[in-house]
């Protein structure tokens, strides 16, 4: 065994590009930060970002909002989800997803997870039949994409509307279809740890003109919806403008100006993330006691994080693995921890939802080890990290 130590940080992102900084400074010099504070015939940074993201995803309509979580809530409200209504979602996700469901008064119903870290399609069919739910908020958790053709076959057949939570899959696709474009609405995050970074922020896309109009009104457009150049025609708003509440959550020009440059650079960034992922994957392959997540051929992923399983290990062994890696500079997050830690929590921690039993998923959830892969890491860093993990697993396996 070696005594190598990793000295990098797992929470340090790349600097904002100079071009984006210049664009942000120009916005600040104008003083016009609010998305509707524009000159005559001026679209403004937010409207331009919406146009560009709609083109990037191939969507008809796009709305930029204050956060990815806000986008999820707006999607549920646009679909007119009612208090007490059951809404399906993944058991393996992060708290903002069931939180968005609970925030509109609906009931989160959790669907199991497979060893591929995607939603269990067999359990999905069972839960649709048991609950009669008409909405699935599908989380592409940590960038793992389920067989979307099979999922949409199930949901379309049962009349279930799919909202895609693409917080971890901006730039990814399934069989050539961009993530967020299978369901009726796709929601994305631009929080610092996501694929483009504005600190906080979100985007929502759809091809449905009425859903787009409701989302725009919900976001706080007042009667300024005509300024949404990536929105539907003004007449679409006539049907909904007096009955759609204002739940303000707009994006501002400052964040949009930073994001537009990063969006143009995203394809190049995707390749960098995936190169790092492949180095870690190759370094861990064949490690006894460790199970890698095999990616389907149809999945074109964006791997800004890395997961592996330590199936059926005791809590003590997993805790020893986390501690051993941390002592050598490698930060692993364990989804099986008895209590929520930082961003990681499990469905039984979300006590605003009705208690549910998912024993098969519990076995998988308690085995999930999770690690960020920021682009501040070099390929050599990633190889070192893989060696450290493999050695620490080897001590305990």
Average pLDDT of the chain is 96
CATH numbers and ranges of domains, the chain:
18-261 (3.40.640.10), 265-396 (3.90.1150.10)
Q: For the sheet with 305-309, list strands across it.
A: 291-292, 305-309, 368-372, 333-334
Model confidence over 141-162: pLDDT tens digits?
Answer: 999 999 999 999 999 999 999 9
Q: In angstroms, rounded to a whole number, what is the distance separating the alpha carbons of residues 13 and 60?
A: 32
Determine the average pLDDT of the residues in 336-347: 85
Rounded Cα–Cα distance for residues 220 and 223 (Å): 9
Return the closest-CA partner of residue 88 out of 136, 126, 129: 136
Residues in the chain: 397
Rg for the chain, CA atoms, rounded: 21
**Which has the minimum average pLDDT: 115-129, 156-170, 326-340, 375-389?**
326-340
The answer, yes or no, to whether residue 344 has pLDDT greater than 90, is no
Confidence (pLDDT) at 250:
98
At 187-240, the pLDDT tens digits run: 999 999 999 999 999 999 999 999 999 999 999 999 999 999 999 999 999 999
Q: Per-residue pLDDT averaged across 116-130, rounded?
A: 98
Percentage of the chain modeled with pLDDT above 90: 95
Longest dimension (CA), the chain: 70
pLDDT value at position 337? 85
Give the C-alpha separation, 355 to 287, whole Å. 36
Whether pTM > 0.75 for this model: the answer is: yes
pLDDT-derived band at 1 (thresholds 50, 70, 90) equals: low
């Amino acid at each position: 065994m070696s005594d190598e130590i990793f000295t990098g940080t797992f929470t340090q992102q790349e600097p904002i590009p100079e071009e984006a900084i210049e664009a942000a400074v120009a916005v600040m010099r104008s003083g016009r930060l609010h998305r509707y504070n524009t000159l005559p015939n001026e679209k403004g940074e937010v409207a331009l970002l919406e146009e560009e993201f709609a083109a990037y995803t191939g969507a008809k309509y796009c709305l930029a909002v204050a956060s990815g979580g806000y986008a999820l809530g707006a999607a549920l409200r646009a679909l007119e989800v009612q208090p007490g209504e059951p809404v399906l979602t993944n058991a393996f996700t992060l708290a903002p997803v069931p939180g968005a469901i609970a925030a509109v008064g609906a009931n989160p119903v959790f669907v199991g997870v497979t060893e591929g870290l995607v939603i269990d399609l067999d359990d999905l069919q069972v839960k649709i039949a048991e609950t009669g739910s008409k909405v699935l908020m599908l989380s592409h958790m940590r960038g793992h994409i389920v067989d979307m053709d099979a999922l949409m076959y199930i949901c379309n057949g049962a009349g279930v509307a799919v909202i895609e939570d693409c917080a971890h899959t901006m730039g990814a696709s399934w069989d050539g279809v961009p993530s967020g474009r299978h369901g009726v609405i796709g929601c994305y995050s631009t929080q610092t740890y996501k694929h483009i970074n504005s600190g906080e922020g979100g985007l929502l896309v759809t091809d449905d003109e009425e859903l787009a109009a409701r989302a725009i009104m919900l976001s706080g457009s007042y009667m300024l919806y005509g300024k949404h150049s990536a929105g539907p025609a003004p007449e679409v708003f006539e049907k909904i403008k007096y009955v759609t509440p204002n739940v303000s959550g707009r994006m501002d020009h400052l964040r949009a100006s930073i994001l537009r440059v990063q969006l143009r650079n995203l394809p190049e960034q995707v390749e960098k993330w995936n190169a790092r992922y492949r180095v870690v994957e190759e370094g861990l392959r064949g490690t006894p006691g460790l199970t890698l997540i095999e990616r389907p051929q149809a999945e074109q992923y964006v791997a800004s994080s890395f997961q592996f399983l330590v199936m059926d290990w005791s809590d003590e062994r997993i805790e020893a693995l986390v501690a051993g890696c941390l002592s050598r500079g490698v930060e692993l997050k364990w989804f099986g921890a008895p209590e929520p830690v930082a961003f990681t929590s499990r469905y039984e921690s979300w006590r605003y939802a009705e208690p549910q039993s998912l024993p098969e998923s519990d076995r998988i959830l308690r085995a999930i080890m999770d690690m960020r892969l920021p682009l501040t890491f070099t390929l050599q860093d990633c190889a070192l990290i893989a060696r450290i993990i493999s050695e620490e697993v080897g001590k305990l396996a």
